[in-house]
Structure 1
Amino acid sequence: MAKQWDVVIIGGGLSGLVGANCLTQSQLSVLVIEKGKKFGGRARTDSINNQLFNIGPHALYKKGEAKSILEQLGIELHGKSPKLGGLLIDEKVKYSAPFNPIGVFTTCFFNWKERMQWIKALVKILNTKTDSISQQSFLQWVEGVSSSKSVQTVLLSLGRLATYCHAPAHVSAKVIVTQLKAVMSGVIYLDGGWQSMIDQLYNKALMKGTEVRSHQTVKQILPMFSEKDTAFDITLANGESISTRNIISTTGPRELLKMLGEYAPSVMKDFFAQMEPVKGATLDVALTKLPDPSKLFALGIHAPLYYSVHSTYAQLSEHSNNVILHVYKYLQPDELVEAKSVQLELEQFLETIQPGWKQYEITSRFIPYITVNERLPLVGDELRLESSKPAVPGLYLSGDWTSPYSILSEAAVSSAQQAAIGIIQKEKS
């Protein structure tokens, strides 16, 4: 008779591996299924010409829930925090960014009245009770914070920085401000890239008895309900059948609907099919040196662009003098990307900040269209998510899109822990 697993985790990315580690103390049998060749998903790091590239810019919140949970699991997180400051760029005009005290009082982007409004806006972010703004869009919240168009513009840029979302009229103020609070406490760039975190999670799960399989694509999830317990029959693309009492699905919403097919409850179908991912374009660059070493961070003011040197704060190359940086464009939900045009836009933005960078280039990688988060967090999503989660008993959702309160790694890690706790409590009862 085929083995029945206590838990099958679909997806071996950050959320799936955190879920596996959270279950290792439970004595439950756990299988992780990953469709790709490598584990880690979008949190993996690629080595290109011995230079370490995350898939676009990645940072971990210093005081975020994800970091706390990872450390509870024994994951060592080495790296440094970037200094506050940098540039705001409008076309080719550069301004000091008002992200530290010196920047606030020296930037020419604000007049004196706007500087005071900006300080009040930062205090407002820290003091806002996010439950009170759950029915507002981020744009509505920003317009209520300041009447100054300049202050509003920088707040919108900061919102993009914190969440990668570029749809302020539609996204939830509650989620964006929650992420802004975390960003204002600082971030960490990880030595070895995020792969260092993934490798530890993977190895710890293996050592504690978790079974992992790569190149395994789930074709169908068939719920087998009984009065006593939950059970599922999982069919793989190769025809193999796997039996389990519980599932943690870390896939995207539409992928999950496809797996469930006719067994997807209507509350899931209606909501999950409408979800739009957060997208972006990234240019990841390795240089032998920076033409201007003083310029380490910049944001576009009106253009939704980002630039940051990560290797100043994290070890990302065998050669300590080499530079690893990321240039990124925040894409709108329905934005069509013409790859060559966007690549040129990112290269020109980098040229504005670091003139002559190409003569120092070791290697670079352009990805025109990456999914950063599986769900753009819209106003009203919170209640719909809460009602969708328990729709299939024994099926637990985790991943960057499944939290009503957060997105990105914060959601991926915290939702995995919550799913594991839910299963452990269910199996004990």
Structure 2
Amino acid sequence: MTQMWDVVIIGGGLAGYIAANYLAKSDLSILILEKGNKVGGRAQTEKIKQDYFNLGPHALYKKGKAAVILEELDIKLDGGSPKLGGILTRNTKEYTAPFNPLGLLTTSLLNWKERIEWIFILSKIQQVDTQALADQTFQEWVEKGVQSKNVQSLLFVLGRLSTYCHCPEKVSAKIVVTHIKTSLGGVLYLHDGWQTIIDQLHNKAVIKGVQIKTHFIVKQVIPTEHRSLKMILSNNEEIFCKYVISTTGPLELTNLLGEIENVKANNIFSQLTPVKGASLDISLSQLPHPKKLFALDMNDSLYYSVHSNVASLSENRKNSIVHVFKYYHPDDSIDSIKVRNELEQFLETMQPGWRDVCVTSRFLPNITVNQRLPLVGHEKYFQRSETEIPGLYIAGDWASPHYILSEGAACSGKQAAEEIIQKEVISCRSAMKSINN
């Protein structure tokens, strides 16, 4: 550990492992430091009895950037895709969701004029240049371009589903529409959960010589006079390296940097707001109502889905893995007892009598789904991965100018690695030129 490393990556989650695997294609020495006793971050999957639970509902965009990047790294993505459709609830009434042709024709939520407007707006989303939306909120974009209140409500629901962001009056239209556009290409629920991605990335990294240390907590990152970085661990051990990629959250990074002068990014990082939610993860020995597989509530920002309908998530094939989720507004005051009752009541409307067939139940009242609520104007802070501290790079679900969630984690992890490799190439060329001269 006392050696001089080329790159130290703080955090063994999706962004950190993607960065490590791209860097491993070079001759750089790479160390991953994970503060927990298990790698994976929010991509961890917990096995409870015979069942596999992600940290709340997880879906991978089939046509997203993360899928492309993982395939570049030869990661196998095995899973199933749910059919578009399901139920929308509003004021205790149920409506067929107009997310497929049959639903559009049969739903009582929309009149014929609204159906035409809904088709038009979905077509518009597929063709829109999302960069042109960078200066407006999602709510502004919706209200300016859509007349029907019902269609507006549908777009807010779709935006929430695609981003986990329940704050249309603040979030960037560019980010939300980009994710809606990608989600319309379908999603994948992964067999045995998202840990399968992390395990593959971990194994490939180890084979390529990447060192991984768990239960190592970085306390401080300090620039040195020799254009290197020093990390002080919680046990006061010191590690030196040329480059650091921090995949921690922005507030944690601010604390790591301490009182370093002239770092404007510090102020930005400390002002970022996380995206949060609550999840009730359930294993049922059978579905009391087997045809109800997906539902969204339009008023109370609730989600329900049976992921095991298309993905293998239990060693007992008869078990059904169900996720019920509440999207929090950033101003919400969280009452975990009230929220749990709300989630259980929503599950009861979908699967009456579920308690009688419940195998496992896990309630997560306050999940950080994404480390940054993507506000208008944020993208200018994340055009490059390198911070104002030379050699210090950021990656993670919050560190991309164009994406959040796994899309942001994958893109920023790759970008940080590529910037470091490019800097090394330039440095090598400069050294060779000096020798030749």
TM-score, with normalisation over the residues of structure 1?
0.97
Give the Cα–Cα distance (whole angstroms) in 2 for the partners of residues 147 and 368 of structure 1.
Answer: 36
Give the Cα–Cα distance (whole angstroms) in 1 for the partners of residues 225 and 176 of structure 2.
Answer: 39
Letter in 2 for 1:312: N
Say if 1:386 and 1:293 are closer, same or farther in 2 by CA, change over 3 A: same
Letter in 2 for 1:118: W
Instruction: Select the residue among 306, 309, 317 that pairs with 2:306.
Output: 309
Say if 1:107 and 1:95 are closer, same or farther in 2 by CA, change over 3 A: same
Counterpart of 2:190 in structure 1 is 190
Listed one character per residue, the Cα deviations across residues 92-133 of structure 1 (whole Å, up to 9, x for unaligned) are 211000000111111101111111111111111111111111
Structure 2 residue matching 1:315: 3-state secondary structure: coil
Instruction: Tell me how large the CA RMSD over aligned residues is.
Output: 1.2
Letter in 2 for 1:240: E
Counterpart of 1:119 in structure 2 is 119
Offset at 1:386?
A: 3.2
Instruction: Select the residue among 301, 321, 324 that pairs with 2:321.
Output: 324
Offset at 1:318?
A: 0.4
Counterpart of 1:9 in structure 2 is 9
Letter in 1 for 2:391: G
Listed one character per residue, the Cα deviations across residues 319-370 of structure 1 (whole Å, up to 9, x for unaligned) are 1121001000000112111111100000000111111111110011001100
Give the Cα–Cα distance (whole angstroms) in 1 for the partners of residues 55 and 83 of structure 2.
Answer: 22
Give the Cα–Cα distance (whole angstroms) in 2 for the partners of residues 264 and 369 of structure 1.
Answer: 34
Give the Cα–Cα distance (whole angstroms) in 2 for the partners of residues 405 and 387 of structure 1.
Answer: 12
Counterpart of 2:58 in structure 1 is 58
Matches within 5 A, 1:365-376: 365-376=362-373
- CA contact under 8 A between 2:385 and 2:394: conserved in structure 1? no
Counterpart of 1:417 in structure 2 is 414
Offset at 1:264?
A: 6.0
- Structure 1: stretches of 5+ with no match in the other structure: none
- CA contact under 8 A between 1:268 and 1:388: conserved in structure 2? no
Structure 2 residue matching 1:8: 3-state secondary structure: strand
Say if 1:330 and 1:403 are closer, same or farther in 2 by CA, change over 3 A: same
Give the Cα–Cα distance (whole angstroms) in 1 for the partners of residues 389 and 139 of structure 2.
Answer: 35
In percent, how many aligned pairs have the same letter?
53
Offset at 1:23?
A: 1.1
Offset at 1:382?
A: 1.1
Counterpart of 2:430 in structure 1 is none
Structure 2 residue matching 1:135: 3-state secondary structure: coil
Give the Cα–Cα distance (whole angstroms) in 1 for the partners of residues 186 and 6 of structure 2.
Answer: 39
Structure 2 residue matching 1:378: 3-state secondary structure: coil
Offset at 1:266?
A: 3.5
Counterpart of 1:357 in structure 2 is 354
Offset at 1:143?
A: 0.8
Letter in 1 for 2:203: N
Q: Does 1:333 align with 2:330?
A: yes
Counterpart of 1:401 in structure 2 is 398
Offset at 1:56?
A: 0.3
Counterpart of 2:435 in structure 1 is none
- CA contact under 8 A between 1:265 and 1:392: conserved in structure 2? no
Say if 1:265 and 1:189 are closer, same or farther in 2 by CA, change over 3 A: farther
Structure 2 residue matching 1:143: 3-state secondary structure: helix
Say if 1:30 and 1:389 are closer, same or farther in 2 by CA, change over 3 A: closer
Give the Cα–Cα distance (whole angstroms) in 2 for the partners of residues 160 and 204 of structure 1.
Answer: 34
Give the Cα–Cα distance (whole angstroms) in 1 for the partners of residues 385 and 81 of structure 2.
Answer: 37
Structure 1 residue matching 2:258: 3-state secondary structure: helix
Matches within 5 A, 1:150-299: 150-226=150-226, 230-263=227-260, 265-299=262-296
Letter in 1 for 2:153: T
Bigger mean CA offset, 380-389 vs 162-171: 380-389
Structure 2 residue matching 1:21: 3-state secondary structure: helix
Structure 2 residue matching 1:414: 3-state secondary structure: helix
Counterpart of 1:139 in structure 2 is 139
- CA contact under 8 A between 2:263 and 2:389: conserved in structure 1? no
Q: Does 1:379 align with 2:380?
A: no
Counterpart of 2:67 in structure 1 is 67
Say if 1:388 and 1:207 are closer, same or farther in 2 by CA, change over 3 A: closer
Moved over 2 A (4+): 384-390
Structure 2 residue matching 1:262: 3-state secondary structure: coil
Give the Cα–Cα distance (whole angstroms) in 2 for the partners of residues 352 and 40 of structure 1.
Answer: 34
Counterpart of 1:34 in structure 2 is 34
Give the Cα–Cα distance (whole angstroms) in 1 for the partners of residues 30 and 13 of structure 2.
Answer: 15
Give the Cα–Cα distance (whole angstroms) in 1 for the partners of residues 49 and 33 of structure 2.
Answer: 30
Offset at 1:225?
A: 4.4
Listed one character per residue, the Cα deviations across residues 18-69 of structure 1 (whole Å, up to 9, x for unaligned) are 1111111101100000000100011000011221000000000001111111
Offset at 1:387?
A: 7.3
- Structure 2: stretches of 5+ with no match in the other structure: 427-437
- CA contact under 8 A between 1:125 and 1:177: conserved in structure 2? yes
Listed one character per residue, the Cα deviations across residues 211-241 of structure 1 (whole Å, up to 9, x for unaligned) are 0001111001011244xxx310100000110
TM-score, with normalisation over the residues of structure 2?
0.96
Listed one character per residue, the Cα deviations across residues 249-289 of structure 1 (whole Å, up to 9, x for unaligned) are 00001111111111264421221111000000000000011
Structure 2 residue matching 1:159: 3-state secondary structure: helix
Letter in 2 for 1:380: G
Offset at 1:389?
A: 4.3
Give the Cα–Cα distance (whole angstroms) in 2 for the partners of residues 172 and 234 of structure 1.
Answer: 35
Letter in 1 for 2:268: F
